[in-house]
Amino acid sequence: MDCHNHAGTPASGTCAGCAEAFCPACLVAIKGTSYCGACKTMAVTVAPSVTLSPCPEAAEALKFAIIGIFCMGIILEPIAISKALKARKRLEEDPTLTGHGQAKAALIIATVALVLWVMGTFGRAIKH
């Protein structure tokens, strides 16, 4: 039997992935098992498993933003914006953290709530 890649070259073994016959130059042994060049990727771990953890600043920012909608918005919304920006910076620096959506939502909610609060205050001031 000839090598799948090299006609006229005798095959020395088969690939564990595709079961085709290959010569010694085409087979790679990974953890004691032979693979061809195309199938070796399924036997190789590209990156070690990474444990993801939530970003506490992102969760705090979202809590402040939501609570600020209902009470003390003038105080809580700027705090939420600050925490959301810090969370975004920390998320960019550490890829093992999760919470991109929370930080983004907190930033949007806090900004909109703060703008509405300011507009409402000016609206009431102009009325009187």
| 81 φ/ψ angles, rounded to the nearest 5 degrees | -65, -45
43-93 pLDDT tens trace: 665 445 668 899 999 999 999 999 999 988 889 999 999 999 999 999 998
Q: How far apart are CA 89 and CA 72, in angstroms?
A: 26
82-125 pLDDT tens trace: 999 999 999 998 888 999 999 999 999 999 999 999 998 888 88
Return the ∠ at Cα 40 (arms to 34 and 41), rounded to 5°: 155
Q: Among residues 4, 101, 104, 109, which one has the least CA distance to residue 66?
A: 109
The residue type of 18 is C
Q: How far apart are CA 26 and CA 18, in angstroms?
A: 13
pTM of the predicted protein model: 0.59
- Give domain limits for the chain: 1-45, 53-127
